[in-house]
């Protein structure tokens, strides 16, 4: 609403709204505070016409101010969704139950050489990747969690530089230069220059040793992604034979192992064949909820280490939103077949218990005086 209103006031109409999972997508993970896909889709479906009618009015006022004729009926608005879709049934459910106009599949296409540029070495690594091979890293200089393939060439180079006490990248491209803490001109937080200066500052500080160690780790965790992510293309196409690629696949990659043709992947999406490694994988909504529970616990841990400045209320709100989503999904389960419903409800119960067990961690963080 905020973004589209801003544009409508300037005579620009948004024709597509893409709902994307905050955590169950590749690349940067823009996590919400526990607001999950199912409830969000429900609200979009319920309030779509309210959104369109409101923006139509704002848009026409902008046109009048520009001395242009108003439009009688609103332009077309599409609602589309992506994030961890793995089966034709899930795809169909999103289209039919929520009435979205389209779906997006990203990560599985990394295993389709016809449409994505992944060099052979990393194509093989992706095809055998398990849960331990794909992790939500702190490598992005932007300070936003970033999904990474942990055994990529870029990650290995990053760890090697740290092991010889030379953390940081030479910063060959400089696209993410934005920090001026130590320099007049912006530098990147993944650069060797920044990390050397920051580590020196930390060594001269009076921060307690336990907290200092955690902060130091967060500094050297930053890695060059603007050079690394392009590496698969430049290596495969012979542009840069020495490239050390980074791969930012989403967690959904662990459900696929076959290097497939475009025809095979499209057939999988429409249910003509299955490319799934494990047919017993959790539902996409369960997987997203599980990722959020892990993220919630991770934030609690970081707060206890002094790496996050979050209030107790923020964590309680986060937990409340997760439980509200579980209650929503318990009702949604009525739409599934009996077998799928039983598994879905069992998974919800297990995740509810995990959320409840996070309470002692929250209390411990508060008692340490870290969370105000």
pLDDT tens per residue across span 341-359: 999 999 999 999 999 888 5
Closest among 21, 90, 19, 83 to 51, alpha carbons compared: 19
Q: Residue 173 pLDDT > 60, yes or no?
A: yes
For residue 365, is pLDDT > 70? no
Tracing tokens 């509810």 back to the chain, one arrives at 352
**Per-residue model confidence (pLDDT) at position 313:** 82
Residue 173: both structure tokens together: 């491209």
Mean pLDDT, residues 312-341 taken together = 93
Euclidean distance between CA atoms 234 and 214, whole angstroms: 35
Report d(CA 28, CA 156) in Å as an integer. 20
What's residue 359's pLDDT?
59
Q: What is the pLDDT of residue 9?
A: 97
Tokens for 172, please give them: 């060959």
**Residue whose entry in the numeric block shows the structure tokens 């994505």:** 116
How far apart are the C-alpha atoms of 286 and 73, rounded to whole Å?
A: 39
What was the pLDDT predicted at 116? Answer: 95
- pLDDT category at 31 given cuts 50, 70, 90 is very high
Dihedral sign, CA of 273, 288, 77, 110? Answer: negative
- pLDDT the model gives residue 167: 96
- Alpha-carbon distance 59 to 72, whole Å? 11
| Phi then psi dihedrals of residue 18, to 5 deg | -100, 115
For the residues 154-171, what does the mean pLDDT come to?
Answer: 95
What are the tokens at 166? 């030379």
The whole-number average pLDDT for the span 105-120 is: 96
Q: List Cβ neighbours of 138 (8 Å cut-off, separation of 6 or more).
A: 145, 146, 218, 221, 222
Q: What is the pLDDT of residues 251-280, one digit of tens each?
A: 999 999 999 999 999 999 999 999 998 878
Dihedral-angle region of residue 207 (phi above 0 means left; psi in -120 to 50 means alpha; beta otherwise): beta
Each residue's pLDDT tens digit, 217-234: 999 999 999 999 999 999
Asked if residue 325 lies in contact with residue 267, where contact means CB atoms within 8 angstroms, the answer is: no
């Amino acid at each position: 609403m905020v973004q589209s209103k801003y544009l409508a006031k300037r005579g620009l109409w948004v024709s597509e709204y893409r709902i994307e999972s905050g955590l169950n997508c590749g690349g940067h993970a823009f996590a919400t505070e526990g607001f999950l896909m199912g409830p969000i889709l429900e609200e979009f479906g319920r309030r779509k016409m309210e959104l369109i009618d409101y923006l139509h009015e704002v848009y026409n006022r902008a046109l009048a101010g520009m001395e242009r004729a108003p439009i009688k009926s609103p332009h077309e608005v599409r609602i589309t969704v992506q994030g961890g879709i793995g089966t034709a049934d899930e795809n169909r459910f999103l289209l039919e139950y929520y009435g979205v106009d389209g779906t997006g599949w990203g990560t599985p296409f990394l295993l389709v050489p016809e449409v994505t540029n992944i060099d052979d070495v990393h194509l093989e690594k992706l095809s055998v990747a398990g849960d331990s091979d794909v992790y939500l890293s702190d490598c992005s200089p932007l300070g936003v969690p970033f999904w990474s393939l942990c055994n990529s060439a870029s990650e290995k180079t990053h760890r090697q530089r740290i092991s010889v006490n030379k953390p940081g990248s030479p910063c060959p491209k400089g696209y993410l230069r934005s920090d001026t803490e130590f320099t007049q001109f912006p530098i990147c937080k993944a650069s060797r220059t920044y990390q050397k200066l920051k580590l020196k500052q930390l060594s001269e500080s009076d921060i307690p040793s336990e907290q200092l160690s955690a902060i130091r780790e967060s500094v050297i965790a930053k890695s060059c992604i603007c050079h690394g992510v392009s590496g698969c293309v430049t290596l495969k196409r012979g542009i840069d034979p020495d490239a050390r690629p980074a791969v930012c696949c989403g967690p959904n990659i662990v459900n696929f192992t076959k290097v497939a043709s475009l025809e095979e992947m499209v057939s999988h999406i429409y249910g003509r064949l299955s490319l799934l490694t494990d047919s017993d994988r959790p539902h996409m909504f369960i997987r997203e909820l599980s990722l959020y529970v892990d993220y919630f616990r991770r934030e609690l841990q970081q707060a206890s280490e002094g790496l996050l400045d979050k209030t107790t209320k923020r964590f309680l709100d986060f937990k409340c939103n997760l439980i509200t989503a579980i209650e929503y999904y318990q009702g949604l389960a009525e739409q599934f077949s009996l077998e799928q419903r039983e598994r879905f409800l069992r998974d919800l119960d297990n995740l509810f218990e995990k959320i409840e067990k996070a309470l002692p961690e929250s209390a411990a963080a508060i008692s340490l005086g870290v969370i105000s």
